[in-house]
Structure 1
Amino acid sequence: MQTQVPLSVVNSLVSGHMENPSSVLGPHTIDYCGQTATAIRSYLPEAQSAWVIDSAGQRRTMRRLHPAGFFEAICDPVVDEPIRAEEDGDPTTRSSAHSRYRIQMADKTGELREVNDPYAAPSILTDFDRYLLGEGRHYQLYERLGAQVRTIDGQAGVNFAVWAPNARTVQIVGDFNGWDGRQHTARIHPHLGIWELFIPGAKVGDRYKFRLLTEHGEWVDKSDPVGFAAELPPLTASIVADLTVHSWQDEEWMEQRAAQDPLHTPMNVFEVHLGSWMKGPGRPHGWLDYRDLAKRLAEYCHRMNFTHVELMPVSEHPFSGSWGYQAVGYFAPTSRHGSPEDFMYFVDYMHQNGIGVIVDWVPAHFPKDGHGLARFDGTALYEHADPRQGEHPDWGTMIFNYGRNEVRNFLIGNALFWLDKYHIDGLRVDAVASMLYLDYSRESGDWVPNQYGGRENLEAIDFLRDFNIAVHEQFPGAITAAEESTAWPGVSRPTYDGGLGFTYKWNMGWMNDTLSYMRHEPIHRKYHQNELTFSLIYAFTENFVLPLSHDEVVHGKGSLISQMPGDMWQKFANLRLLYSYMWTHPGKNLLFMGGEFGQWNEWDSEAGPDWILLDFDTHRGVQQLVSDLNKLVIKNPSLHELDFSGDGFEWVDCQNAEDSVLIYLRKGLDDAPPILVCCNFTPVIRKDYRIGVPQSGYWKEIFNSDSEAYGGSNMGNYPGRESTGVGHHMRPDSIQVDLPPLAVTIFRLENDA
């Protein structure tokens, strides 16, 4: 009895070079001696003998056709109920007729083992999946690609699928096959470029990679682009994970989030690098796990009255020194702090304790590491082939090809993945400016203009709009924030109004101008008053976040307090002044860890904040000030309800540059009492300073950054001031106050006259 498979095809199969092994392996209808029969073929390198066991339990010997382990059995064409995938309530069936059967094999020791045939399993992709993937609109691609735990015909296993359209063949290698992929060469969906195979017996915790044969005849091992977990770097394998195991307890938080308008609610953001925020003895590099971090960070945020944490990128990254901004595992929380379930616990615990979780997301570029996305199938797949478009000159990284449907699908699906599977509350998008401009950080001649000859990256613009639309439509209440450092118009305006659709934009202009002003010696500040007042000219053109982020305390800039001028007392007073001005300026607030207690050293991602400084009253004072400012914003609607409207702000005096004084009102909706903010940017005490107020009555002093509780001189106006009936600052009434040195005093109208 001769096989119908040519020897050349068998040799190609056992050598691992066959492009489409499913054309040979698995069940195939053949004409055998003039009758229709089923040929069942398997490649079993470890087997000495093999048998087919059909649905009736009948055992049929498979002939060994090649010493490397190629077996075949010719069976009667018995058609049973199609095999079904049972794991997700949306079963798929194999389109061609086949029988239910198992393969029994005996290894060299004679031990028997039964498995399902990978090539008899139905595809996980439905017709609708194929349509959406072809359109580049399958935003739940993480439910189909990668390593999906499935049960087929009672056999547990894992379905592997990867997009690699230019590979000649793709093997799945891992713990389940001794890293020999010859027996697990994937099937291809030709029109999609997706390779897929169900491997019975593969399980959660197994390590794996995709082994690709490129069009140049080279074999490369790649981590899974949609892998849910990864080995601890410097190891690079992906790990099979089940993302359904966590029992979420944050229903109340999620319901409240969906019902709130993030533009009108208080938002005090604590930016954190999980690897260095707090260390633990006896752990690799001192890294705490996600569960320990959740408990410590939630307690700290409560004490400090932060409403949100913003995590520097948690996606898996090979180089710790990149702080996560050079990601490889876009769908995998870094294993430095634990498993995917551990990170779910982190988010869940933060939500149960009333703290939102924002994650830094990096769709602008990715590293060149050999196991990652770069030249994934031997070609420029995720990136542009032309280095003028596909390589970032500053960071030595690759730039995504936003004009490719599958790449946009990958990135938008990834964004939604974090919101869906991990209940993340928002994404801060890194380096948006580098995405918007084709000539970003490039010399003339080193960039390719768009189709109209301009410098705007039209594909990236479309991508960002699609991303924002998808996030806001599918996850009400979730936020997106752009780190965008140019004057690009409408970053935080709706897409239907011509904007990019972000919820917020980081106000980099405010940050640069304010820090520049604060670095001046107070005696010189009167010549730079416009550096403070300029931000109010454009403050309401976008929904701004005021950031004092990690970027302001690295690369030789020094810590915030070290950037302040003067002697020791003045440095602390200036820092308290900076924070008080920032928290009362229109916009949401973000502060990087360590800044909240006056960290002296520049941030070191290996060492983290110097918590020992809290042994000193001065640093504890700064910490208490930040906590009280956060609470002040939360408790006073006038300090958060109209952050993005000119109706929420009013200058009282912005022209007294000689005294370096700024005075302004913050207002809220409805009957929220107005807030009067008085800033003195010099160490000179201004006694009996008259300030015009919009309403007569009692103005209670509700905050003073010069309070002795914060380490100040305790010069102030406690408990408050009654208006005098004397008009001033073009207002019908006024109060007389003492302006403490290098300080902010805040008053709230307590009653109407």
Structure 2
Amino acid sequence: MNKVQTHSLFTDFDIDLFKAGKHFRLYEKLGAHIIEVNGVKGVYFAVWAPSAKTVSVVGDFNHWRQGEHELQVRWDSSGIWEGFIPGIEKGTLYKYRIESNNGGLMTEKADPFAFYCEKPPHTASVIWDLDYKWKDTNWMETRKEHNDLDKPYSVYEVHLGSWKRQGEENRFLTYLEFAEDLVKYVKETGFTHVEFMPVMEYPYDPSWGYQLIGYFAPTSRFGEPQDFMVLVDKLHQAGIGVILDWVPSHFPDDAHGLGFFDGSNLFEHPDRRKGYHPDWKSLVFNYGRNEVRSFLISNALFWLQHYHVDGLRVDAVASMLYLDYSREEGEWEPNIYGGRENLDTISFLKDFNEAVYSNFEGVQTIAEESTSFPMVSRPTFNGGLGFGMKWMMGWMHDTLEYFQKETVYRKYHQNDLTFSMTYTYTENFMLPLSHDEVVYGKKSIAGRMPGDEWQKFANLRLLYGYMFTHPGTKLLFMGSEFGQSSEWNFESSLDWHLLQYPFHNGVKLLITKLNELYKTEPALHEKQFSPEGFEWINYSDHENAVMSFIRKGNNPKDDLIVVLNFTQVIRENYRIGLPKKGKLTEVFNSDAIEFGGSGVQNTNKLLIETSPYDGKEYSTALLLPPLSVVVFKVA
């Protein structure tokens, strides 16, 4: 095997950007790249390891022997080691063997920029390329029309390892099998987007992917990188957007990973009060180090560029924002102003969002942020963090708390539902019923509903109807769309056999109809982040546990009237106030027989009378089905 040759892909400008924390395409320089030098094919290697004494590339090509292929450190104090090794081909296994200046410590590390990794529990990186001929040109040219904030955005959250398994061996599906089965299913149920829980390489299945090792590599559990490209491509061809969970909040301390990479705290913060996460027993990035910022933002842009991803949902933002997150008094240090906010994180997140939105049109970033930190989804030029959307955790908590109550007690707790409208427009909120709500003894969403079997499913249909008519975008975890009875188990398939039962199949059909309603009725999405898109009719009928409101689009003729009955009592001649004359036509009813309901409905058009009610000039009397949401249009 040929020796290492001197070669570099870096310019002086690259190094300046890297040191300044402004190089957002590092994946084009660092890592392992199949190239040709002077007519000879091989691989150029580059790794950041400023505290290293020596760095060798070891692999199956040199029998993993130290010292045979040593890289050279650059002269410019960047800490980058590099070199070209002729003859190495795609598919070769490799690592970096790093001897540290700090006491001569010797470690073997996977490549932080590897495009492909060995299938866990094996830990080597794999020489790979990103060659692929995309067929989603139409989607990419028009995706802004699908992803804008005034468009329907209904997300199906998927854990690839447990959506569906095959055979007695309980094996994973492959990316290529997902490209057939999952694409067909999402298209059938009408979701506009899929959100994948982390697909970047991770060593430990029980982490669900949230403890990443290979930030630039789709996990090899389900196939090769190009196979994942096929999956994204097929979703796009079906008109479905793709969101990836992205985890810049922490990383595991596995020996082959980023931790103590070159014998120093390279990626993690050196102060354990800022560099260690007590909840997850993991390491926290040093957001104040420019090279780390370049690494993370480059990673975000990598998935948008090379995998055509349409959005990034950023995990655990609250844990990043607060210095005292999950820490007791004395376990954290205030910032320079005496506050608890992590100023380095705030600066990093602003840079991240600015880089994403300035480089890619028609994409969204979404923050999983559970506190009242202000202006998360407001532009950075207005002082915000710059995210496109933020998860509405308060809505999720209050809504599930309300729905778990027996109906006889709900009249005492209606404020749990109405409270969300006091702050709905402070952010661009996404309403999440995510994987976190169906684990650790919380029960499935269906399992939380009170009453007998009929009431449980009626409550579930009502919950989803409320979710889809409430302002904001939507996210639903897999299995919830057909009323999975048991909690989510990451080690086994969803309970697909339940679809043979009418109640479960009815819930799936309901979700399909709700997605159709959300997409086809402008009033449900055109002003979903504007107070102009919502008007209460009556939120104070606690005694009957009924709420009513108007959803509005750009054109008044598109207005929808939404009435929700949170008890099993049928309300006859239930009067609501309305702002204009005309006739009401029922366009959606969660109590329809096809969904598993009792079939109580308003079959005829309802005349709106000149009879003041609910503080409005006109009114009409409705028939309200039990435990239902009914949607009307004014004709």
Deviations 1:668-691 (A, max 9, x none): 013551100000001111101111
Match of 1:641 among 526, 538, 550: 526
Q: Which residue of 1 aligns with 2:18?
A: 133
Where do residues 117-156 of structure 1 align in structure 2 (5 Å cutoff)?
118-119=4-5, 121-156=6-41
Code of the aligned partner of 2:391: W
Match of 1:253 among 124, 136, 139: 139
Deviations 1:405-461 (A, max 9, x none): 011110000000000010000000000000000000100000121122211000000
Q: CA deviation at 1:137?
A: 1.1
Deviations 1:2-28 (A, max 9, x none): xxxxxxxxxxxxxxxxxxxxxxxxxxx
| 2:4/2:71 contact within 8 Å kept | no
Q: Which residue of 1 aligns with 2:486?
A: 601
Code of the aligned partner of 1:436: L
Deviations 1:55-93 (A, max 9, x none): xxxxxxxxxxxxxxxxxxxxxxxxxxxxxxxxxxxxxxx
Q: Which residue of 2 aligns with 1:619?
A: 504
Q: CA deviation at 1:127?
A: 2.1
SS at match of 2:97: strand
| 1:680/1:742 contact within 8 Å kept | yes
1:700 equivalent in alignment to 2:560: no
Q: Which residue of 2 aligns with 1:446?
A: 331
1:515 equivalent in alignment to 2:400: yes
Deviations 1:554-575 (A, max 9, x none): 0110101111111111101100
Code of the aligned partner of 2:152: P
SS at match of 1:654: strand
Call closer, same or farther: CA 1:179–1:579 in 2, change over 3 Å: same
Work out the CA distance in 2 between the residues paired with 1:459 and 1:295. Answer: 43
Match of 2:113 among 226, 229, 238: 226
1:198 equivalent in alignment to 2:113: no
Code of the aligned partner of 1:196: E
Match of 1:210 among 72, 96, 108: 96
Work out the CA distance in 2 between the residues paired with 1:336 and 1:130. Answer: 35
Code of the aligned partner of 1:501: G
Query: What runs of 5+ residues in structure 1 fail to find an aligned partner?
Result: 1-43, 45-114
SS at match of 2:425: coil
Call closer, same or farther: CA 1:282–1:335 in 2, change over 3 Å: farther
Q: Which residue of 2 aligns with 1:715?
A: 600
Work out the CA distance in 2 between the residues paired with 1:149 and 1:722. Answer: 72
Deviations 1:541-594 (A, max 9, x none): 100000000000001101011111111111011000000000000000100000
| 1:680/1:741 contact within 8 Å kept | yes
SS at match of 2:61: helix
SS at match of 2:143: helix
Match of 1:297 among 145, 164, 182: 182
SS at match of 1:540: helix
Code of the aligned partner of 1:727: P
- Worse overlay, 457-466 or 663-672: 663-672
Deviations 1:680-728 (A, max 9, x none): 0011111011111222112110110011101011111024322123222
Work out the CA distance in 1 between the residues paired with 2:503 and 2:97. Answer: 58
Match of 1:266 among 152, 157, 179: 152
Where do residues 577-588 of structure 1 align in structure 2 (5 Å cutoff)?
577-588=462-473
Q: CA deviation at 1:247?
A: 0.1
1:659 equivalent in alignment to 2:544: yes
Structure showing greater radius of gyration is: 1
1:425 equivalent in alignment to 2:310: yes
RCO comparison, higher one (Cα < 8 Å, 6+): 2
Work out the CA distance in 1 between the residues paired with 2:67 and 2:324. Answer: 46
Match of 1:386 among 256, 271, 279: 271
Q: Which residue of 2 aligns with 1:237?
A: 124
Match of 1:566 among 404, 428, 451: 451
| 2:7/2:82 contact within 8 Å kept | no
1:487 equivalent in alignment to 2:372: yes
Q: Which residue of 2 aligns with 1:345?
A: 230
Q: Which residue of 1 aligns with 2:432?
A: 547
Q: Which residue of 2 aligns with 1:110?
A: none
Q: CA RMSD in A?
A: 1.2
- The TM-score normalised by the length of structure 1 is 0.83
Q: CA deviation at 1:134?
A: 2.1
Code of the aligned partner of 1:524: Y
Code of the aligned partner of 1:281: G
Code of the aligned partner of 2:222: H
Code of the aligned partner of 1:279: R
Work out the CA distance in 2 between the residues paired with 1:585 and 1:623. Answer: 19
- Worse overlay, 183-192 or 545-554: 183-192
Call closer, same or farther: CA 1:668–1:685 in 2, change over 3 Å: same
| 1:638/1:672 contact within 8 Å kept | no
Q: CA deviation at 1:261?
A: 5.8
Q: Which residue of 2 aligns with 1:535?
A: 420
Where do residues 51-66 of structure 1 align in structure 2 (5 Å cutoff)?
none
Code of the aligned partner of 1:210: Y
Code of the aligned partner of 2:160: L
Work out the CA distance in 2 between the residues paired with 1:641 and 1:221. Answer: 53
Where do residues 9-88 of structure 1 align in structure 2 (5 Å cutoff)?
none
| 1:637/1:672 contact within 8 Å kept | no
1:678 equivalent in alignment to 2:563: yes
Code of the aligned partner of 1:298: V
Query: What runs of 5+ residues in structure 2 fail to find an aligned partner?
Result: none
Q: CA deviation at 1:282?
A: 7.1
Q: Which residue of 1 aligns with 2:516?
A: 631
SS at match of 1:183: coil
Q: CA deviation at 1:362?
A: 0.4
Code of the aligned partner of 2:361: P
Work out the CA distance in 1 between the residues paired with 2:630 and 2:135. Answer: 42
Work out the CA distance in 1 between the residues paired with 2:79 and 2:557. Answer: 59
Work out the CA distance in 2 between the residues paired with 1:500 and 1:136. Answer: 18
Code of the aligned partner of 2:197: M
Work out the CA distance in 1 between the residues paired with 2:188 and 2:207. Answer: 30
Q: Which residue of 2 aligns with 1:171?
A: 56
Work out the CA distance in 1 between the residues paired with 2:140 and 2:112. Answer: 29
Code of the aligned partner of 2:456: K
Q: CA deviation at 1:175?
A: 2.0
Work out the CA distance in 2 between the residues paired with 1:692 and 1:404. Answer: 59
Work out the CA distance in 2 between the residues paired with 1:149 and 1:672. Answer: 59
Q: CA deviation at 1:353?
A: 0.7
Q: Which residue of 2 aligns with 1:739?
A: 624
Work out the CA distance in 1 between the residues paired with 2:179 and 2:634. Answer: 39
> Number of matched residues?
633
| 1:692/1:727 contact within 8 Å kept | yes
| 2:147/2:363 contact within 8 Å kept | no
Match of 1:183 among 62, 68, 71: 68
Q: CA deviation at 1:484?
A: 0.4
Code of the aligned partner of 1:218: L
SS at match of 1:625: helix
Where do residues 277-316 of structure 1 align in structure 2 (5 Å cutoff)?
277-281=163-167, 285-316=170-201
Deviations 1:615-656 (A, max 9, x none): 100100010001100000000000011010000000000000
Q: Which residue of 2 aligns with 1:49?
A: none
Q: CA deviation at 1:118?
A: 2.7
| 2:566/2:626 contact within 8 Å kept | yes
Work out the CA distance in 2 between the residues paired with 1:672 and 1:246. Answer: 47
SS at match of 1:734: strand
Code of the aligned partner of 1:165: P
